[in-house]
Structure 1
Amino acid sequence: MAHIIFWEKPGCSGNRKQKEILQASGHTLEVRDLLTEKWSAARLCEFFGARPVREWFNPTHPQIKAGQFNPAAISAAEALDLMIRQPLYIVRPLLQVDNECLAGFDVAQVHNWIGLKLEAVGERDPKNCPCVVSTGEAG
């Protein structure tokens, strides 16, 4: 099983469920605060890899949910600058095992990466905060 550094927004119920799934799968966690970490553009890029910029963003951020901000309309450099100044824009959680990093909690991706006991996942997709309906739109 893996030892995971897990960056979360403290108090986030989605992050709580994700941590429960990881621990039920036998992984150990070192939990860190996403909002107080001193991020750099280079460090954040380690988590995002080749994913499109729009996938770097937290879909439950109030401005994104309200349609006031379109993550697909800015460059990678602009996105990183914004996330360094306002970490609530960063998709959660950020995960690190050894030197490998991942952003977000796509069950299949996390399972293929480190393994999950899929019975621990439950019915609600843990990728998103409970305030986002299953269609991906703000709820």
Structure 2
Amino acid sequence: MADVVFYEKPGCRNNTKQKAWLSTSGHTVEARNLLTEPWTAGDLAAYFGDRPVTEWFNTAAPAVKAGTVDPASVTAEAALALMLADPLLIRRPLMRVGHERRVGFDPAAVRDWIGLTDEDKGDVETCPSLQTPHQCPDPAP
């Protein structure tokens, strides 16, 4: 099984479900605070690989929901600069196993990558605040 470094927003319900699923699948999860990590543009870019820039963003981030940031209209360089200034913009989780890095939690992709139990956990990636009037706790510093 894998040792997963898991960058999360502490208190995020979906990140909590994702970590539990990884653990019950036999993986060791080392949770880290995505919001306080001293990121560089190069560090972040390694997690996004060749994904389109729009897939780098947390669509539930306040700036995206308010329309202040439009992921479809920024370059890769601008996206990284925005994320360094406001880590809430970064799509979660960021996961690292060895030298490989991934963004987001698509169960099929994670299953193919490191393995997951077959139990269907439902949608563990879409933020509940996009579906209901849910409020996440304020990010811990």
- Could you state the TM-score of these two structures normalised by the residue count of structure 2? 0.88
Match of 1:51 in 2: 51
Matched, 1:3 2:12: no
Residue type of the alignment partner of 1:42: G
**Runs of at least 4 residues of structure 1 off by over 3 A?**
none
Verify: 1:19 aligned to 2:43, yes or no.
no
CA RMSD of aligned residues (A): 1.1
- The residue that corresponds to 2:125 in the other structure is 127
Structure 1 Cα separation of the partners of residues 94 and 121 of structure 2: 21
Q: SS of the counterpart of 2:18? A: helix
Give the match for residue 107 of structure 1: 107
Q: Given the alignment of the two structures, is residue 41 of structure 1 paired with residue 35 of structure 2, yes or no? A: no
For the residues of structure 2 that align with 1:129 and 1:88, how far apart are their CA atoms?
Answer: 13
Q: CA deviation at 1:92?
A: 0.3
Name the amino acid aligned to 1:4.
V
- For normalisation by structure 1, the TM-score amounts to 0.90
SS in 1 for 2:112: helix
Cα-to-partner distance string for 1:85-135 (whole Å, 9 max, x where unaligned): 11000000000000000001111111111010020x423x112222233xx
Helix, strand or coil at the partner of 1:77: helix
CA separation in 2, counterparts of 1:36 and 1:122? 28
Give me the whole-angstrom Cα distance separating, in 2, the residues matched to 1:85 and 1:62.
Answer: 14
2: distance between equivalents of 1:131 and 1:90?
16
Q: Percent identity?
A: 51
Counterparts of 2:25 and 2:56, CA distance in 1: 26
Where structure 1 has 5 or more consecutive residues not aligned to the other structure, the ranges are 134-139
How far apart are the structure 2 equivalents of 1:113 and 1:39? Answer: 24
